[in-house]
């Protein structure tokens, strides 16, 4: 069971690169080579993050991407939601479709609790926190 897909993994690394470059534009090419992410794949992820107002871009030569939001306001939970959909332990209860035993479903209760736990754990992890950890590790 793999919780984070490449989408999210790459997005996190890209945001870290942008957060480190605070204030100036960084090109997709530079991020891709620096973080070892497939270029065209990364470009799509960046577009998606623009749509969600996490970053902004400047077109043309010397253009690139820049962080828009406060790094501490970007949580891994948000990124999971963008790239993998909302955290849901079991599917059935989010659909109107009756799951056959919904009425006597004991799982539902447990499931919702665990969903909350997972979500809130990933909420504690922000780009800002990761960046500080990264910088601390590099100083050593």
Partner DNA sequence: TTATTTGATACCAATTTAGTATCAGTTAAT
Partner DNA sequence: ATTAACTGATACTAAATTGGTATCAAATAA
Which CB, 96 or 104, lies closer to its own copies?
Answer: 104
Which CB, 83 or 127, lies closer to DNA?
Answer: 83
Counting contacts by CB under 7 A, is residue 61 touching DNA? yes
Counting contacts by CB under 8 A, is residue 122 touching its own copies? yes
> What is the rounded CA–CA span in Å between residue 41 and residue 24?
22
Counting contacts by CB under 7 A, is residue 90 touching DNA? no
Longest distance between any two alpha carbons in the chain, whole Å: 61
Positions in 20-59 near ligand FES (CB under 6 A): none
Task: Say which residues have a Cβ less than 8 Å from residue 124's Cβ, sequence separation at least 6.
Answer: 75
CB 37 within 8 A of CB 14: yes
Over the window 61 to 100, marking each residue x when it contacts ligand FES by CB under 6 A and - when it does not, the resulting string is -------------------------------xx-----x-
Residue 58: φ, ψ to 5°: -130, 125
Nearest Cα to 12, choosing from 56, 54, 53, 40?
A: 54
Counting contacts by CB under 8 A, is residue 86 touching its own copies? yes
By three-state DSSP, how is residue 22 classified? coil
86 binds, among its own copies, DNA, ligand FES, none (CB under 5 to 8 A by kind): its own copies
Positions in 52-71 near its own copies (CB under 8 A): none
Task: Say which residues have a Cβ less than 8 Å from residue 134's Cβ, sequence separation at least 6.
Answer: 16, 20
Counting contacts by CB under 8 A, is residue 95 touching its own copies? no
Q: Which residues bind to DNA, rule: CB under 7 A? A: 1, 5-7, 27-29, 38-41, 43-44, 46-47, 50, 57-65, 84
């Amino acid at each position: 069971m793999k919780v984070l897909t490449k989408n999210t993994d790459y997005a996190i690394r890209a945001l870290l690169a942008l957060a480190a470059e605070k204030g100036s534009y960084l090109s997709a090419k530079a991020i891709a080579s620096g973080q070892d992410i497939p270029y065209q794949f990364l470009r799509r992820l960046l577009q998606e993050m623009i749509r969600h107002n996490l970053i902004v871009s400047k077109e043309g030569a010397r253009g690139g991407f820049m962080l828009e939001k406060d790094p501490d306001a970007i949580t891994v939970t948000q990124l999971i939601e963008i790239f993998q959909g909302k955290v849901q332990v079991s599917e059935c209860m989010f659909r109107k479709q009756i799951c056959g035993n919904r009425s006597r479903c004991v799982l539902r209760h447990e499931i919702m609790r665990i969903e909350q736990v997972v979500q809130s754990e990933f909420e504690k992890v922000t780009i800002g926190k990761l960046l500080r950890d990264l910088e601390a590790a590099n100083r050593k």
